[in-house]
Amino acid sequence: MMGKTLLGASLFSGAGIGDMGFRAAGIVFVAMCEIEQDRNALARTNFPETQHFAEDINTAQSAFCQAVTSGVAQRKGELFLISCTAPCQGMSKSGQGTLLNNIRKGKRPQLDPRNRLILPALRIICELQPQWVVFENVPEMRNTVIEDDAGKLRLILDIIDEALSPHYSGKAYDIEFADYGIAQRRQRLITVYTRDDTAKELFRKGIDMVPPPTHAKHPKGSMPKWISVVDALKDFPPLDSISAEKATSSMQFHRVPVLDPKKYEWIRHTPPGMSAFDNQCINPQCDCKDNPSHSTNRGDDGINRASKETPLYCAKCGALLPRPYTVEPDGSVRIMSGYTSAYKRMDSSLPAPALTRNLSYPCSDQKVHPYQNRVLSLAEAMTLQTISSYDYKWGPVILMVGNRQVHKKVAPDGLIRLVIGESVPPMFLQLLGEHIINMSKNVVSAPTSSRNRKPSQARMW
């Protein structure tokens, strides 16, 4: 096998950002499937040699399998890998919370139908029989239940294991990307299966199917510490959201939205690692630091809600605190709805929090720059997601606007923000790709880490 071209196929490819890492490891993609037209357009730009399917995986199954089989035959290679990044909104903590709330209101079915997209993916995998399969999703996938083809409620991981056994061996790993030199605290569940006999034997002997960590929050020995967000972004020119002039730079994608004066004032007084909801009195004659902080409470219905009792006025002098508020029709003000992580500055000593599709909004989860009065620029987000380490092209792209095609030299900022938040850091997938290739070559000589294993299992072979 290893003398042949290593070929791959991708399901739920998004904009192809994560698969850039697999490609850098030496895997050539023959086919990619992504239903969203705009994401698919970016994937086409970056994988022009690949056959693309911009349609539902259920309807694409037959044609996709034919394209992969044909592509493998034409290249005289072997299908080494299928990567599968199924939608996670129905599995994520926020998705499950929203689902729970809507169920109680009678607005949604009890089970999110998006979670069942793993079933047609498994049918494709079983038909094509790649050497390796990699699933990427949120950690909550471990506990996600779906209805299988027989109508039985089961854990997704159990369905995957049953579908791939007995020919495949594999495991799900809880991964923190900051442990791999990525300046972002982003946790994911990476599930890896193989039918390669050499790799299966190494796995049986205790070799992890994911690469060993390269960094640690509290390192021992010579292992370096996590890369902080400040270290990762130290070479970027400063920006300020106070005005259009200060919010832009000559560097491509290094610009941020201008904030209205109220929001700017809330952020300006927010210390690192803190939320604007906890800001204290700024009256120079008072300077009280004892005003109660913001909090959340889980009600009897099981839903976590932000407190509406967080004070807006200083308990000592009565001055309005620089905390997020909204103005009522009668002119009075009340605390704005928001969790304790809203309008929160990043901790400068840590990697950035997980980037999301809302990375450009200060009201979202920990999205304020660690010391400048603004959110991250798209250029900074590309660095934290390791996209800037690869030759990823943001244009030209052909996008659908209604029923017509629109040619863009560069993808719109809104689309770029979305796909950054949706993607997997390609650096990790490159490390993973190199690792599984080495396992197939039998060049891994000892267990790579003790992650998810009992101490007695971590020994030399």
Q: What is the pLDDT along the chain (461 residues), one digit of tens a residue?
A: 556 799 999 999 999 999 999 999 999 999 999 999 999 999 999 999 999 999 999 999 999 999 999 999 999 888 999 999 987 666 655 555 555 566 556 665 566 777 889 999 999 999 999 999 999 999 999 988 888 889 888 899 999 999 999 899 999 999 999 999 999 999 999 999 999 999 999 999 999 999 999 999 999 999 999 999 999 999 999 999 999 999 999 999 999 999 999 999 999 999 999 999 999 999 999 999 999 999 877 666 556 677 888 999 999 999 999 999 999 999 899 999 888 889 999 999 999 999 999 999 999 889 999 999 999 999 999 999 999 999 999 999 999 888 888 999 999 999 999 999 999 999 999 999 999 999 999 987 544 443 333 332 222 22
Decide: 57 and 31 in contact? Cβ < 8 Å.
no
Residue 70 φ/ψ, nearest 5 degrees = -65, -40
| CB-neighbour burial class of residue 455 (10 A; exposed 0-12, middle 13-18, buried 19+) | exposed
Beta bridge partners of 10: 32, 83
* Residue of 316, 319, 317, 321 whose CA lies nearest to 343: 321
Q: Which domains does the chain have, with CATH numbers?
A: 6-223+423-457 (3.40.50.150)
Decide: 406 and 256 in contact? Cβ < 8 Å.
no
Residue 416 vs residues 80, 97, 356, 403, 430: alpha-carbon distances, Å: 30, 26, 12, 22, 21
Return the SS3 of 21.
helix
First CA to last CA across the chain, in angstroms?
Answer: 25
Cα torsion at 341, 345, 347, 352 (round to 10°)? 80
Instruction: Report d(CA 381, CA 374) in Å as an integer.
Output: 13
Residue 394 vs residues 162, 381, 409: alpha-carbon distances, Å: 39, 14, 8
Residue 343 zone, left/alpha/beta (φ > 0; ψ -120 to 50; rest): left
How large is the angle between the packed helices 426-441 and 17-25, nearest 10 degrees?
A: 30
In sequence order, the 6+-apart residues with CB closer than 8 A to the CB of 98 are: none
Residue 272 vs residues 23, 69, 349: alpha-carbon distances, Å: 38, 53, 9
Residue 27 vs residues 23, 45, 433: alpha-carbon distances, Å: 5, 18, 8
